[in-house]
């Protein structure tokens, strides 16, 4: 929900997405899981963002966790996200990325 520029708006019991409709799905999923948009944003404030554009096919946000630690959240097409990755975590720990897996 933090790597998102859309908002869910409740208009007299009817919900609508303000912003890109494809960004509405993660917000709805988060809501159904019991999360609220504002809660995460207050705890992990966004300090920078790479907005989604068709040429790079991903969006990334940078959030402050503490005084000396940050968190990067990324979403995008599976192919593009895998292109950005070199390693994966599994039951045996971290290892080289196996994109076919």
Give the percent of the chain with pLDDT over 70: 100
Q: What is the pLDDT of residue 41?
A: 82
pLDDT average, residue stretch 77-99: 93
Half-sphere exposure of residue 97: CA atoms within 13 angstroms, side-chain side: 9
pLDDT(85) > 90: yes
Give the pTM.
0.79
pLDDT grade, residue 49 (50/70/90)?
A: very high
End-to-end CA separation in angstroms for the chain: 26
Instruction: Give mean pLDDT, residues 21-48.
Output: 87
- Given a contact cutoff of 8 angstroms between Cβ atoms, the answer to whether 88 and 96 are in contact is yes
Q: How many CB atoms lie within 10 A of CB 27?
A: 20
Would you state the pLDDT for residue 73?
95
**Is 70's pLDDT higher than 90?**
yes
What is the mean pLDDT of the segment spanning 7-17? 90
Find the mean pLDDT for residues 41-56. Answer: 90
């Amino acid at each position: 929900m933090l790597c998102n520029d859309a908002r869910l708006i409740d208009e007299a019991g009817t919900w609508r997405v303000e912003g890109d409709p494809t960004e509405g799905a993660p917000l709805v999923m988060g809501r159904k899981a019991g999360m609220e948009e504002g809660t995460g944003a207050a705890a992990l404030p966004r300090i920078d963002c790479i907005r989604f554009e068709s040429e790079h096919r991903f969006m990334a946000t940078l959030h402050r966790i503490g005084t000396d630690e940050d968190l990067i959240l990324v979403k995008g097409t599976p192919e593009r996200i895998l292109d950005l990755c070199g390693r994966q975590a599994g039951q045996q720990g971290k290892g080289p990325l196996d994109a076919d897996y």
